[in-house]
Each structure stands twice: as C-alpha cells, then as structure tokens.
Amino acid sequence: MNPLLPYCEALSEDVNQVLEQTAPMKHPLIELIRYSLEEQQEALKKLIPVLTADLEQIPSDDNASHQQSSNSDQHPDQPALSLDQIRPYLSILYQNNEVAEPTMRAWVRAVHWIPSFETEHTEQIRNRYKHMREQLDEIAVNLREIYGQAAIKYVVPTFYLEVSL
Amino acid sequence: MSWQKERIDMNIYSQGEVDKWVYSTCNICSIGCGCHIAVKDDKIVGIKGNGQHPINRGRLGPKGENQWYANNSSDRLLTPLIRRDNGQLEPASWEEAMELIVSKARESLERQGSNSIAIYSTGQGYLEDYYTIAKIGRAGLHTHLLDANTRLCTATTEFCLLQSFGADGTPASFDDVDVTDTLMLFGHNVAETGTVLHERIMQRKQREGKPYIIAVDPRHTLTARHADLHLQLIPGTNVALLNGLVHLMIKNGNIDRQFVEQYTIGFDEMQQSVADWTPEKTSKITGIPVEQLHEAARVLGETPSMVTTTLQGTFQSADATTACVAINNMHLIRGQIGKPGCGPLHMAGQPSSSANRTAGGVGTYPAQRNPMNPQHLQEMADLWNVDEATLPAGPEKGIEEQLDMIEQGKVTFFWNIGTNPMVSLPNRRRARKALESIFVVVQDPFLTETAKVADVILPVALWGEKEGTMENADRTINVLRKAVEAPQGVKSDLQILIDFARRMDLKDKDGQPLIGYSTPEECFEEWKTVSRGRPCDMTGMTYDKLEQHNGMRWPANEQHPTGTPRLYSDYKFPTDADYSQSYTKDQFSGRALSRDEFVSKQANGKAILHATRYLPPTEQPNEEYPTWLTTGRLVWHWHTRTKTARSPYLQMAAPNAYVEIHEEDAAALSIVQGEVVRISSPRGWIEVPARIGTAVQKGLVFVPFHYGSWEGHESANDLTADFTDPLSKQPTFKQAACRIDKLRKQHIVVGEESADYIAEQYQLTVEHLLQANRLVTPYDIQSGQTLEVPISVVNAPIPPYIPQRG
C-alpha cells in the first residue's frame, strides 16, 4: 500500500465532513473555506485512486533515474509513483490548507463576535482542521522520506517540515 | 511636469544662519519629496523643499515640514533596555542587549527550527535595511517569516500587480497624472495623505481644467470635495462598483479589442464575471444612483487617457486585491496602460514600503524573484553564495498568520523593527496577548506603545542621522544623505543588523561572513548586482547619480540610463513563467497556483485579465452593532504619531482622537457636537468626542487610527476586526460593525432651576443641554423633570490644511 494513502483517506473524510457541516451556512468566510475545500475534494478524488493503484513497491524504470538524482535517502518501500504523478494534487491540498486554515480561525473569531452566526459546528470544524493539519504533516514527512527534501521543497510549504540550521 | 514654478517650503528654527544644508528626501508619506536638511552646531534645525526635485519642486506637506522635531526630542532612547526579572525595562549596554538577542535567537532555532523566528519590519526604513533583513532572514536564519507593517498599507499593491502583470512595480507614474484626461482616485484621499501630489493635481486642474476627477470614497473627504464626480459608495462594495462599471463599459462597446487580443489573456472569463452586474444590481449593492453609474462608465469608457490611483480605501477594504485587479482589468480592456497619461498607479502608504517589497524584506525574494520558482532561488543562492536547499520556498505569511503561529506556539522570537504594531494592528489586544507570550525585540527611537510587549529595546537612528535610499510610490529611488551623527548611544538599523549577523556567526558556503558590507553604499552596490536583469534593475544607479538626477525610476540600467517613467510601453508583461515574480494566486481564494497551473494559462508576456467575484465584508452592521465603522488618517499625523506627536505644531493641530458621525445619526441619538461618546465593537470600546457633520454618510462612523496610548481609550484598533484579504493578507481596517452609546448623567430639575443654571453646573452650553434632551427652548424645562447630561463635551476642532498656497 502506498504510505500516503491512509493519510489522504483520513484527509478526505475531514474535507467531506466539513463541507457537509458548512453547506447550510451563509457567511463570506465560509464561502472562502468551502471554495478551498471543494478544490481539495476534487484533488483527493483524483489522488486517492492513483495511490490505491500504486500497489507495487518497486520503482518503475521511468522514475528510477529521477529518484536517484534527487534523493539519496529513499524510502525502503519505494512506491512506483513518481512525484510528478501526484504533484498537482498535493500542491492543491497544501496550498488550499495554507489559505483555509487561517480563514477558519478567522471564522471562529467571527462566530464568537456575532453570536447570531451558526455556531453548532464551530468546535467540530476547528477540530477537523486540526486533524487535517496532522494528516498533511504526516504526508509531508512521508513525502520527504520517499522522495527527499529537495524534490518536495516546492510542493510542500516550508511550514509543514521543520528545518533547522 | 505639472509644476509651473518652484516654491521652497521651509521650516527652520535657528538662531543665526545654518551651518549647512544636506541633501535628503522626506521620510513621511509615499510621494517622495526632495528636501534639504538644515544643520547647525551638529543638530538638525530645519528642513526646506528641494526646488530642483521634479516630484515636489520645493513643496513639502505639513508633516514633512515638521518631521525633524522628533530628532531633537528629549525623550529619545539613548541606551538599550532589557526587561528584567522584576518585569521592568531597565537600561543595559549594547553588548548585553545584543548577546541576549543572539542567545534567544539561537535557542529558538535549536528548539523549534528556523520558522520559529519572525522579523517584522517597516515601510519607513531604507532599502539597504530591507535587503539586509532579507539576506539575514532567508540566507542566515532560513526563516520564511519576514513581514512588515507594509502588510497593513501596501501589500495589496504588490499582489494585484503580480496577478495582472506578473511582477510588482506600478505601471504609471506621477508624470502620467500630469497629462491624463481623467484621474480616478479610488479609495485614495490624496488631499490628506499626499498633500504635495494633491497640490500638483489641483494646480493643473486650475490651469487647464484637467483632469476630470472621479473620487470613490464612502466619505465626503477633502479629496472628494475637489472632484468632478464623487461616487460615495456603501462601505465594502468596491468590487461591486467596479464590476458594474466594467459591465457598462463592455456593454457600451468601450473596449480596445485589438489590445485585448494582442496583449491580454482571460477576457472571456472576466467578461462572464461581470455579466450580471447590471446598473440596477450595482446600484442596489453600492448605494450609488444608476445615473451616476452611467455617467462614470461613460467618462471612463470614452476618455482618451486615464490614470487610476488606489490607496487604503481600496487596500484596507473587503476584496482589496480583487478591487485593484478589477482596476487593472479596466485599464487593460481599454488599452490604457503603457501610454502617456495612462495606467493604474497603485500607491503605497509609507515613504519606503515599496523598497521593502522590491528588496525582499517582505513578500517575495529580492528583486522580484518568485519564492516558488527553483531557478529563482538558485539565482539567489548563487548571488549570496549559499546552498539553495537552505532557502525557504513557497508563499509568504502575513502578520496576522504570524500571530496565529505565535498563538499555536510555533513562533517564539519576534523582531520588531521600526514600527509600532500595538497601535497599528487590528484587534490590537489580541496581538498584545500573543506578543506578550514570546521573546520580542523592539528597534525604535522612542518608547512606543509596543514597548509594553518588548523584552529588549534597541535605540535607533532617525531620518537625517543615517544614509540610504528609499523607493516612493511611483518607483522613484531617492537617496538620503546623513546630516548629523546619531545621538550618542544610538545605532542605525543597518549597524544593528550587521552586528547581529556577526554575533550569530552567519557565514556563506566558503565560510566568509554572510554580510560582507559595512556601509549603506556598499550594501546598495551589492543590491544592484542582485537586481540585475530583473524588472527593478538598478544597475544604472549610484548614490551620486540619484542625487544628480534627483531620483531615478527603476528600471535604470544600460538600456534606460536615466530610469523609466512608465512601465509596459512595449506592452510586454513579465508573465513568462521563468521570469515572473509569481505563479499568481486563485483570484477568489488566494491559493497559490503551481507552476503547471500558471504555465497552462499561457500568459507568456501577456497581461492577465481575471474574473472578479464580489464577496461582501466579513463583518457588517447587525442588531447588536448596527453602525459601520471605518478608520483612517488625518492630514496632521503620521501613523501612530511616534514622530508627528513630537512636533508641537502637529500635535496642537490634532491632539486627540474623535469619532465622525453624520448629523442625522447624531440628531437621532441627540448627541451634541463634541460630546464624548462610547464606540463599542465586539473587540472593545473607546470613548472619544463626536465630530458631527456630513463627511461620513449616514450609518457610518469614522475614527482616525493614529491615537493608541494604552491609557487613553481612544485607539481605533481596539475596535477593528483582524480579518484579512485572501490574496494580499492585508487587514480590512475599513469595515467593521460598531455601536454608539451616549455617556450621560441624570439631573432632576429642582424648583426654579433655569436652563442657564443647570448648563453651568455641568459646564455645558444651554444649546447643548437642550439638544441633548431634544428640547427646543429653555422654557421646555420643568421642575421635577429628569434631564440627560453629557458627562463631557470636548471642543475637538481639526484645523483645515490648505494645500493650494499658490
């Protein structure tokens, strides 16, 4: 099994849940959050089948040269997928989270300030985002192990991978 | 140029002749007026305008004329301060302060990694400072958390330009303002925020009757009063208005089809986004009558030339970047860019905020390099002689996101340089709580409100006490010479940064010091090599040339030895993926697009038209808080008054905050002129006198943001909400919900007490007493009646500034 798959599935569950919970809500920040979630949902719909199909644990010939050149500490169970095959989806997942996470926090403040807004699911949504962040952190760690820091540098934002001097 | 003749504005206080005049540039607003500093007995004793400088021909604004008083203020900090175990800030040596900073920085890096350090700088420093911050931050500390108060004033300029044209740099210049037929001042109260530019505009207007001026502002400002057409829209509806105008321009056939086809992409999507913005729908949302919309669209659609300026009314509003992109769209579909008298001129707030963007101290990498482009980071690595792998990549984080990170325990070291966030940030009490929880370094000439959260304060040199360059709002680079030595015990920002790099032992790949220069001019020479070949190429500049030419607009290189007054005159835009400063963002959500997504747009040198979707403001008046709150600037003060409050003249002109209330709203609440009222929002409250008039529209109040002492209860940012624009991450200071509450005592009329007697008891006028109680004559007062008495009535006049002095 591709090591990214369980995290992406968990992420997908979170995305779907938040979309469901926010569907009846009318608020400018919810519009922004849902826009990002819908993009993430679309990306996951395409990414999960690709990861699911990636059952072989041996790199394909196409990928070997790329991996050799870009990664000296490859994952022992190297997936057959090249980073290029999943890069577009990963980019959408991470960059949407980068904008949606602060928007969600702003929405939580907004709800607190104007109590007439929908509040029933506020805590649940906040927890979902926390959980989504954990999945993205895990995906980042796995990506680094599989493809190497240099290869994922422009896919995974720096804030998901601790860098020390 | 528009100026027919020079006029040397001067403000000196000197017994006897001054010893010398030193070449400089005004350090207040973003216009960039040339000036000379008067020096006597090694002290700054005055200022005069530079008659040869094309931007101002000797004129200065009121703040510019009075900025030098701060230099001689008796409360200058002259030694570092450290917060001791007793919680007090106490004097310390530079050695102790710097070693403490270095040890805390190291500790933060070791414990939590590079992105645990944030540097938050300014728009009032010099380009050399910003470039050094970029180099130390990115190549030395490897942090991606470089931001500045430019986020509050000018971030939207950068991101709207990246979206439409692929790189920063405002296309038009002040020269275009001088020759344009139509000038749209969109959320730009130039009469108060850029007095010299306003004077320049109005002198031509008086002479030639041009330009036709359209002012877009929810307030009837001094600028709006001089306009031919004032579109007084409902707060937070900028994009709605622009969509309606573009809709009409398309409908009226005011499109330069050839230009659109040859030099732009994205027209169909953009057109679709405005398709349902009929005048009726636009009018309903913006509050602007349909006839005015038609008139504005007619003027904008038929004018042979047009310049549109924007400032905080656009940048600090909902949909900030989308509004500015809609303005770019408007210019592109009319082909009005790159030609004399044409183009968007997105302004900046501060004197050198543009330089910070250009030099990479905030936002993207230096010299407009894309932080998501591996080639660009490799270039920077080569230029700095460091390993590319250590340079952080990806989109930046704004100050509000950094506060989020502090609250989450991810940032533990915050270096605040030349700004006063405890007055200027929205919802400032949240920001205070966050910053109190971590180690904070504050670099400032004075003990500001931000000292409350400081662990170390470093006293720094002011304007006139150091050398360097600034970039104004229209890409002009000006040089500022050092007039006097900084007071003993004080260092320049650049000296501190270089010292920090040395103490941190920051090195390049060869083990050489990362910062190899020691003077501003040496720094500028290194910067020039970094700028080579980029849109902001400054290889044709030197300090001496900048002085000889009285400023030069970038690019200035072999091809353009004296600079470039106007960008895109060849209609080639920096949207090639390998060259562009950004792969752009999703125009609605702000998500950074990947290279593949950007390449698939196939811009390749063409400008990009974007769909402009309207999103209403996050917070709007509601049952509990039924009034719009907007905040802004006065002609008499600059930002948080760190400098201007130290000028007796400016301080006397506007010593306190106030709230502007429409006369009908005041009448409905029986509030009297000058009555101290409480303004509350979900974040906090202030108590300030009411200024009643018609400058604000009904249902809206205005509070100037300059006043922020912790004791005074007059800080606008105790009220504002910390929501941000999705693309530029600029806070929306201009829209929040609030409530007006009267502060009244009760007085029960006893016996024969007269109106005169009662009013005198409370130091009121009879007129105020009657007005506060909705009474018409003194005889309406009856024994046993309960009267409401305002707890305080304060005379809060703001003298008018008359910029057109001839």
pLDDT band at B454 (very low <50, low <70, confident <90, very high): very high
Q: Which CATH class is domain B627-790?
A: mainly beta
Q: How confident is the model at residue A118 (pLDDT cuts 50, 70, 90)?
A: low
Instruction: Show the domain range for A38.
Output: 5-160
**What does the alpha-carbon distance between residue B31 and residue B9 come to, in Å, rounded to a whole number?**
16
Interfacial residues of A (vs B; Cβ cutoff 8 Å): 27-29, 31-32, 35-36, 39, 87-88, 91-92, 95-96, 98-100, 102-103, 105-106, 109-110, 112-114, 116, 149-150, 153-154, 157-159, 162-165
According to the model, what pLDDT value does residue A68 have?
A: 41
Q: Which CATH number fits domain B81-154+352-464+483-535: 3.30.720.200, 3.30.300.30, 3.40.50.740, 2.70.150.10?
A: 3.40.50.740
- To the nearest whole angstrom, how far is the Cα of A77 from the nearest Cα of chain B? 25
- Chain B residues whose CB is inside 8 A of the A88 CB are 594, 596-597
Domain count, chain A: 1
Radius of gyration of chain B (CA): 26
The interaxial angle of helices A5-22 and A28-53, nearest 10 deg, is 150
Coil, helix or strand at residue B301:
helix
Residue A37 placed within a domain: yes
Contact A113 B109 (CB under 8 A): no
CATH of B171-346+583-608, one of 2.60.40.10, 3.40.50.2300, 3.40.228.10, 3.40.50.720: 3.40.228.10
Q: What is the pLDDT of residue A63?
A: 44
Give the Cα separation of A8 and A43 in Å (integer): 10
Whether residue B801 has pLDDT greater than 90: no
pLDDT at residue A163, as a whole number? 54
Give the model confidence (pLDDT) of B46-64 as tens digits.
999 999 999 999 999 999 9
* For chain B, domain boundaries: 10-65, 81-154+352-464+483-535, 171-346+583-608, 627-790
SS3 string, B145-210, reads CEEECHHHHCHHHHHHHHHHHCCCCCCCCHHHHHHCCEEEEECCCHHHHCHHHHHHHHHHHHHHCC
Q: Which residues contact B511 (CB under 8 A, 6 or more apart)?
A: none
Of residues A161 and B68, more confidence is placed in B68
A135 assigned to some structural domain: yes
CA-CA-CA-CA torsion sign (B757, B763, B766, B768): negative
Q: Is the pLDDT of residue A164 over 50?
A: no
pLDDT surpasses 90 at B252: yes
The whole-number average pLDDT for the span B756-769 is 96
Q: Is B627-790 in the same CATH topology as B171-346+583-608?
A: no
- To the nearest whole Å, the CA of A134 is away from the closest chain B CA by 14
Bridge partner residues of B118 (DSSP): B414
Whether residue A132 lies inside any domain: the answer is: yes
What's residue A126's pLDDT?
95
**What's the pLDDT score for residue B795?**
84
Q: Considering the domain boundaries, does residue A165 fall inside one?
A: no
Residue B414 has pLDDT above 50, yes or no: yes
Query: What's chain B's average pLDDT?
Result: 97
CA torsion sign for B177, B181, B184, B185 is: positive
Contacts of A39 in chain B (CB under 8 A): 589, 591
pLDDT recorded at residue B148:
98
**Nearest residue in chain A measured CA to CA from B394:** A157
Chain B residues inside the 8 Å CB shell of A99: 589-591, 726
Confidence at residue A77, expressed as pLDDT on a 0 to 100 scale: 55
Confidence band of B796 (pLDDT split at 50, 70, 90): confident
pLDDT on residue A75 = 54
pLDDT over threshold 80, residue B663: yes
CATH architecture of B10-65: 2-Layer Sandwich (3.30)
Contact residues, chain B, for A36 at CB < 8 Å: 589, 591
Q: What pLDDT score was predicted for residue A121?
A: 86
Residue B535: C-alpha distances to residues A12, B123, B127 (Å): 42, 21, 16
Asked whether the beta carbons of B716 and B631 are under 8 A apart, the reply is yes
CA–chain centroid gap for A90, Å, is 6
- Residues of A whose CB is below 8 A from B626: none
**Using CB atoms, which residue from B112, B395, B619 is nearest to A98?**
B395
Token pair of A14 as six digits: 């979170």
Verify whether the Cβ–Cβ distance B112 to A162 is below 8 Å: yes
In this predicted structure, the answer to whether residue A62 has a pLDDT above a threshold of 90 is no
The 10s digit of each residue's pLDDT in B20-39 is 999 999 999 999 999 999 99
pLDDT surpassing 80 at residue B298: yes
3-state secondary structure of A85: helix
pLDDT at B260 over 70: yes
pLDDT of A165 > 50? The answer is no
Distance CA B358, CA B376 (A): 15
Residue A111 counted as domain residue:
yes
Q: What is the ipTM of this complex?
A: 0.95
Q: What is the pLDDT of residue B805?
A: 53
